[in-house]
Amino acid sequence: MKKHNFSAGPAILPHSVFEEAAKAAVNFNNSGLSILEISHRSPGFSAVVEETIQLIKELIGVGENHHIMLLSGGASSQFYMVPMNYLDPTDRACYLDTGSWSAKAIKEAMKFGHVDVVASSKEENYTYIPKSYLLPEKAKYVHVTSNNTIFGTQIHEFPETDIPLVSDMSSDILSRKLDMERFGLIYAGAQKNLGPAGVAIVIMKKDWAERAKREIPSMLNYQTHIEKNSLFNTPPVFPIYVTMLNLRWLKAQGGVSAIQERNLEKATLLYDEIDRNPLFQGTARKEDRSHMNVTFLLNNESLNDDFLTLCKQAGIENIKGHRSVGGFRASMYNAMGIESTRALVEVMQAFEEKYG
Amino acid sequence: MKKHNFSAGPAILPHSVFEEAAKAAVNFNNSGLSILEISHRSPGFSAVVEETIQLIKELIGVGENHHIMLLSGGASSQFYMVPMNYLDPTDRACYLDTGSWSAKAIKEAMKFGHVDVVASSKEENYTYIPKSYLLPEKAKYVHVTSNNTIFGTQIHEFPETDIPLVSDMSSDILSRKLDMERFGLIYAGAQKNLGPAGVAIVIMKKDWAERAKREIPSMLNYQTHIEKNSLFNTPPVFPIYVTMLNLRWLKAQGGVSAIQERNLEKATLLYDEIDRNPLFQGTARKEDRSHMNVTFLLNNESLNDDFLTLCKQAGIENIKGHRSVGGFRASMYNAMGIESTRALVEVMQAFEEKYG
């Protein structure tokens, strides 16, 4: 039976990527050696790093004015690396609090400088993206979380400001076209749309901000990784390789524009069913709904386990909601085909027939 | 033709590990899902983390008095995490400078407190391990690099002192029996004897030292990872899984005592040939020779390329020396069978016949 993997992350990647990754784990590029045993400074792996960086640039639409870094430590490390590198103790940064990940980013930034939380939807359990708030005239940056994996919300209009935006895009990078000129820096853990767990990417405008005046360990200084082209120390070789395979796949699909259409199609199909089906309700405000993570509830929560059982029987995996929201969460990243969304919608309809 | 992979790191792992890793990249535990697409909080992966930690404890010989952490960022991140967590600005730590990695650790530590470099072999291009030096009565820790991958030296007798030892064991962890009671903390990047690139381990005595009084980002605070059992954020899932497979293999080989014998046998075979063969010489002082990385030169360096060609023809890969030493380096980690050492010795003998 085909499995439909709705996991929030680490998450689905194309099956062809798994097969190519498996092949390289035994014999990389017909070298007779595994990708797991070769030097990160070998010509074979240098080419992987080069291609990964080029594919990111091409797919996201940036050129020579941006640095790309492949780092370890996930987005969680960027929560402190951004302020450590850019926020002097007397500097001010603005943060929009739209969920658990924003809150963690805020907590880490407060260790380095002044943090203005310009708006928060915490009091309504992060069911929406705050929109009417004032930004100061001057701040080092405005930090936003573009998509909130846990709460199923997504920023569809980024704040209009001359202050550089910094965005955690872990769960929606490369899922939609964005004007990269508005962002000073974006970062993303790989394990949703980019690749497997174990690598994170940072995309930084070359001229975006003045560096903070503090002593920073070499490994935490962006400049180190820029100068060494992400090869200052041994990088996570296999996660980077699989990321490259996944980016090749995305390019072959027609790139970000093509995948954005397919993502919209999947999201529309599922949200339409949630709105139509009298047994279910969505948890996020309609205008802020995420196209990546669809959060929804059964009106009668005592039926939750029955619904999960029916899902399991249809090969639908990892659909249970996060404990802070409850109910269900369908994460439908780039690699998910619409047939998986259809399978879920069919189960919802069968459930309606049974209990409606 | 069988390839003999003498790479210094990332390095050889058992072929059976590559095959199992490849299988899981497509279908993990017969779940129908790849290990690359499952949640790090799934029961399947929780069991992997648990088993990895238990195997490390069992194989290295520590129990409930030690914490084990699986972290990202390599040993290079431990260079600053150790002093960040333990060295107050007024504290003193002693460092033994035995090579490039020691020097990097020293550089990062100096950003946090007083660093005494108690001895250095830099002036003789790190060809030996300094032995007669004075340690102060009181210091927070003494930092050593147990094996110097680049210079082919290894500490065979650790300093006798009541001060807790901190050791970078990246290139010889689990290759020999050590008295773990003497170490406050050891760390190692995985990509030699532990697993593939992308994960590092830290083994810490529970009571070893008082924490430094500074604000530390959550991700850089050992306490965070101890409390969350290495699952504070999304860990490098696949590198941890492959590490577990490799540790299972090591256990099946008879554990560290058995592998230590085999490592000694390989090292003896190769050093004996270097000492016997009039065309070659070793670079490290005999009493400090590494059992992991054997560095040697041709007396007539103009023949270097000819020797490399002959090696290549015999399936011997990655034998070229690091630029700081020149000549050749044969890294013979746990997973290398003695037949690979024999293949190299045979090429050295054939070379002698041709040019001797």
- Residues of chain B under the 50 pLDDT cut: none
Two tokens, residue A284: 């996020």
Q: What's residue A165's pLDDT?
A: 97
DSSP conformation class of B210? P
The reply to whether B109 and B151 lie within a common domain is yes
Is B5 within a domain?
no
Domain termination residue (choose one: A252, A272, A299): A252
Closest-CA residue of A relative to B322 is A41
Residue B2 lies in a domain: no
Q: Does residue B9 lie within any of the structural domains?
A: no
Backbone angles phi, psi at B290, to 5 degrees: -80, 140
Choosing from B91, B97, B140, B192, the catalytic residue is B192
- Confidence band (pLDDT; 50, 70, 90) for A74? very high
Q: Does some domain include residue A136?
A: yes
Tell me the shortest Cα–Cα distance from A132 to chain B, in angstroms.
31
Q: What is the pLDDT of residue A208?
A: 85
Q: Are B88 and B136 in contact (CB under 8 A)?
A: no
Residues of A in contact with B21 (CB under 8 A): 25, 36
Same domain? B72 vs B213? yes
- Domain C-terminal end among A228, A252, A276: A252
Task: Calculate the average pLDDT of chain A.
Answer: 97
Which residues, listed in sequence order, are joined to residue B153 by a DSSP beta bridge? B148, B289
Q: Are residues B33 and B132 in the same domain?
A: yes
User: Maximum CA pair distance of chain B?
Assistant: 64
Q: For this structure, is A2 an active site residue?
A: no
Asked if A37 and B234 come within 8 Å (Cβ–Cβ), the reply is: no
Provide DSSP, B87-108. Answer: --TT-EEEEEE-SHHHHHHHHH
Do residues B35 and B58 share a domain?
yes
Domain count, chain A: 2
- Interchain proximity B26–A19, CB inside 8 Å: yes
| A36 has a pLDDT exceeding 90 | yes
Split at pLDDT 50, 70, 90, the class of A7 is very high
Given the residues A91, A97, A168, A172, select the one marked as catalytic: A168
Amino acid B167: pLDDT: 98
What CATH number has the domain bearing residue A86?
3.40.640.10
Q: pLDDT tens for residues A222-268?
A: 999 999 999 999 999 999 999 999 999 999 999 999 999 999 999 99
- A293-298 and A328-331 beta bridge pairing: antiparallel
CB contact (8 A) between residue B1 and residue A215:
no
Q: What is the mean pLDDT of residues A194-199?
A: 98
Q: What average pLDDT does the segment A109-133 reach? A: 97
Residue A200 lies in a domain: yes
User: Is B249 among the residues known to form the active site?
Assistant: no
CA distance to partner chain B, nearest, from residue A192 (Å): 9
Chain A contacts of B238, Cβ < 8 Å?
196-198, 238-239, 242
Please give the structure tokens belonging to residue B216: 């530390």
CB–CB contact B234 A317 (8 Å): no
Q: Check residue B182 and give its pLDDT.
A: 92
> Are B177 and B49 contacting, i.e. CB atoms less than 8 angstroms apart?
no
List helix spans (H) across B185-303: 222-227, 237-252, 255-276
Give dist(CA B194, CA A300) in Å, integer: 50
B165 and B33 both lie in a single domain: yes
pLDDT at B211: 87
B262 and B234 fall within a common domain: no
Q: Which pLDDT score, from 0 to 100, does residue A144 have?
A: 98
Q: Do A10 and B38 touch (CB under 8 A)?
A: yes
Residues of B in contact with A77 (CB under 8 A): 72-73, 219
Whether residue A268 sits in one domain with residue A238? no
- Given a cut of 90, is residue A356 above it in pLDDT? no
Are A315 and A281 part of one and the same domain? yes
Assess contact for B9 and B173: CB atoms under 8 A.
no
Residues B134 and B194 in one domain: yes
Task: Judge contact between B176 and B263, C-beta under 8 A.
Answer: yes
DSSP secondary structure of A255-283: HHHHHHHHHHHHHHHHHHHHHH-TTEEES
Most A CBs within 10 Å, among B3, B72, B319, to test the A interface? B72
Minimum-distance CB partner of A219 among B1, B77, B242: B77
E strand or H helix that includes residue B186: strand B183-189
Can you give the pLDDT at residue A209? 79
Q: Which residues of B touch A313 (CB under 8 A)?
A: none
Residues A202 and A262 in one domain: no
pLDDT in tens, A288-315: 999 999 999 999 999 999 999 999 999 9
Whether residue A4 lies inside any domain: the answer is: no
What is the C-alpha separation between B151 and B133, in angstroms, rounded?
A: 21
ipTM given for this complex: 0.97
User: For the domain that residue B311 is a member of, what is the CATH number?
Assistant: 3.90.1150.10
Optimal mutation site among A220, A221, A234, interface B, most CBs of chain B within 10 A: A234
Pick the residue with more confidence: B211 or A70?
A: A70
Phi and psi at B54, nearest 5°, equal -65, -40
* Residue whose tokens read 């990097």: B104
Is A323 exposed, middle or buried, given 0-12, 13-18 or 19+ CB atoms closer than 10 A? Answer: exposed
Q: Is residue A9 situated within a structural domain?
A: no
Q: Tell me: the pLDDT tens digits for A136-158?
A: 989 999 999 999 999 999 999 99
Put simply, the answer to whether B219 touches A189 (Cβ < 8 Å) is no
B190 to chain A: which residues are within 8 Å by CB? none
> Are A294 and A193 part of one and the same domain?
no
Rg (CA), chain B: 21
The model's pLDDT over A76-111, given as tens digits with 9 standing for 90+, comes to: 999 999 999 999 999 999 999 999 999 999 999 999
* DSSP H/E element including B143: strand B142-145
User: Which residue in this structure is represented by tokens 């595994």?
Assistant: A34
Q: What is the pLDDT of residue A116?
A: 97
pLDDT at residue B306, rounded to an integer? 98
User: Is the CB of B237 less than 8 angstroms away from the CB of A198?
Assistant: yes
Q: Could B77 and A40 be called an inter-chain contact, meaning their C-beta atoms sit closer than 8 Å?
A: no
Distance from CA of A346 to the nearest CA of B (A): 21
With 0-12 / 13-18 / 19 or more C-beta atoms within 10 angstroms meaning exposed / middle / buried, residue A253 is middle
**A212 within a domain of the structure (yes/no):** yes
Position A33 scores a pLDDT of 97
B12 to chain A: which residues are within 8 Å by CB? 37
User: Where in chain A does DSSP place strands (E)?
Assistant: 4-5, 66-71, 92-97, 114-120, 142-145, 147-148, 153-154, 165-168, 183-189, 200-205, 280-282, 293-298, 316-317, 328-331
Q: What is the model's pLDDT at position B49?
A: 98
Domain edge (last residue) among B209, B227, B252? B252
Structural domain containing residue B27: 15-252
Same domain assignment for residues A43 and A114: yes
